[in-house]
Structure 1
């Protein structure tokens, strides 16, 4: 029997999306099975999205718009839905990140989220043992869409050399991730520098942080602790972060030298060799 649970569209972005899907599907005179046939998915998936039991993907949303003639309605909504999947303490950062004109970040342990591949992101997020891993991965990858806008933000990343050597997801996932970093050499809006081990003690031994600049609004500094994140526009903090970041950039390898190091690590450490747990069979 089809689940026709009443939804409160004001309860959450997902509830609003499900309510809109049901409303517009019925307005088009389509049953769930009929719409599923049009967009090449099971009727059960339509029902699960309509009853908020399943998070819609961007591909699903684009196919809905095409089938129902909704002029990008669901494609716009899905961004809000995916953002709502993020941890509550992280959602404000994701909202500001999407509005920023310039993002500078120092990453001490991991590749910056906007530059992560799907396999790398999945391995990182799985370390937190979440119940909704697929949804979190989809939300992280959706954040990266800001880099494909007609006017993307300028993104400057200082990446600690340690992040190149930590085998997140295994050798193949790391090789893929480092190769992905190299693709940004062709994007004038993204710059990557590596802070080498040889820099020794440096201006942010305390950990990672990001600064976001906006057109017409104060700068914001973001940092994380063990279980949450913190944003501040305090002028003294912003000034201190800018000073520390300038020192990090000065200590880091140039963009060209950084790319050369990434290539060397990718080939020497993550070249096409058997994984350590692969053993020959006698």
Structure 2
């Protein structure tokens, strides 16, 4: 257990966050309990975050920034803190997501992490391992903040139809997840297409992959297998998968028809239709 008097702000982004939280709190002349009362949490939670034993949340960071007049420092640090909690092999992917101008992803059987609801993410991450599930779920969802940036990336997501039918987390979770996908129907920056079963043999049979395009840097291909990922800027590999993606888009349903299929699956498989406002 890290002791507050020996907390090293250079040890990790989480330690640095805790160090700065303590520094600002003490400068304001507040105890942990007093700050907790101001931001609607316990003094114990403040202490756990200060000693890098608990991950802060967006809500906590924003409230403390307001209470201590930090000019948004803790909220700005939060993204770095949460990204550092990702598995080491996945941290590079989070960096690619954060820098990309365009993300093109094909997923065979599961909704991409950038589009997952909390319930869906918990169900995915909790398979075989429920330790630290709250924190791991928060870390995954934090990646979605890139979609709310002033200049967010354009996201193209092609889902195999099986992703709509695989009952991850149960019917209620799946209704929520499919409803989330439908909210993007009119968003020109987040485009969801479904590759239907009727497509038969297709260019993505070798598995899921993602292409990251950048404003000034070469594109990068990312693929994943159990417990590790593979990134490549090799022009031939990138061209090959770019061609595959073009063919997948041609075989997939249009955005409008994809939304209709998603609605149909919601009603027929999960017992609830989704009515657009």
Higher mean displacement: 128-137 or 224-233: 128-137
TM-score normalised according to structure 1 size: 0.94
Question: Aligned partners of 2:126, 2:211: CA distance in 1, in Å?
Answer: 26
Deviation at 1:133, TM superposition (A): 1.1
Deviation at 1:130, TM superposition (A): 4.5
Runs of 4+ residues deviating >6 angstroms: none
Q: Are residues 1:186 and 2:181 paired?
A: no
Deviation at 1:87, TM superposition (A): 0.7
- Indicate conservation of the 8 Å contact 1:203/1:248, yes or no: yes
Alignment partner, residue 147 of structure 1: 147
Alignment of 1:104-123 (within 5 A): 104-123=104-123
- Indicate conservation of the 8 Å contact 1:115/1:144, yes or no: yes
Alignment of 1:194-205 (within 5 A): 194-205=194-205
Deviations 1:51-86, CA, capped at 9 Å, x for gaps: 111111111000110000001100011111111111
Alignment partner, residue 276 of structure 1: none
For structure 2, the residue ranges without an aligned partner over 5 or more in a row are 273-277
Question: Aligned partners of 2:178, 2:128: CA distance in 1, in Å?
Answer: 23
Alignment partner, residue 247 of structure 2: 247
For structure 1, the residue ranges without an aligned partner over 5 or more in a row are 273-282
- Indicate conservation of the 8 Å contact 1:105/1:208, yes or no: yes
Question: Aligned partners of 2:113, 2:141: CA distance in 1, in Å?
Answer: 8
- Indicate conservation of the 8 Å contact 1:193/1:252, yes or no: yes
- Indicate conservation of the 8 Å contact 1:39/1:64, yes or no: yes
Question: Aligned partners of 1:25, 1:186: CA distance in 2, in Å?
Answer: 44
Alignment of 1:1-282 (within 5 A): 4-272=4-272
Question: Aligned partners of 1:148, 1:127: CA distance in 2, in Å?
Answer: 29
Deviation at 1:159, TM superposition (A): 0.4
Question: Aligned partners of 1:211, 1:159: CA distance in 2, in Å?
Answer: 15
- Indicate conservation of the 8 Å contact 1:8/1:16, yes or no: yes
Aligned with 1:90: secondary structure? Answer: helix
Deviation at 1:38, TM superposition (A): 1.0
Question: Aligned partners of 2:207, 2:220: CA distance in 1, in Å?
Answer: 17
Q: How many residues align?
A: 271
Question: Aligned partners of 2:53, 2:19: CA distance in 1, in Å?
Answer: 12
Question: Aligned partners of 1:212, 1:36: CA distance in 2, in Å?
Answer: 41
Deviation at 1:146, TM superposition (A): 1.2
Question: Aligned partners of 1:138, 1:4: CA distance in 2, in Å?
Answer: 24
Question: Aligned partners of 1:123, 1:67: CA distance in 2, in Å?
Answer: 35
- Indicate conservation of the 8 Å contact 1:5/1:51, yes or no: no
TM-score normalised according to structure 2 size: 0.95
Question: Aligned partners of 2:4, 2:256: CA distance in 1, in Å?
Answer: 58
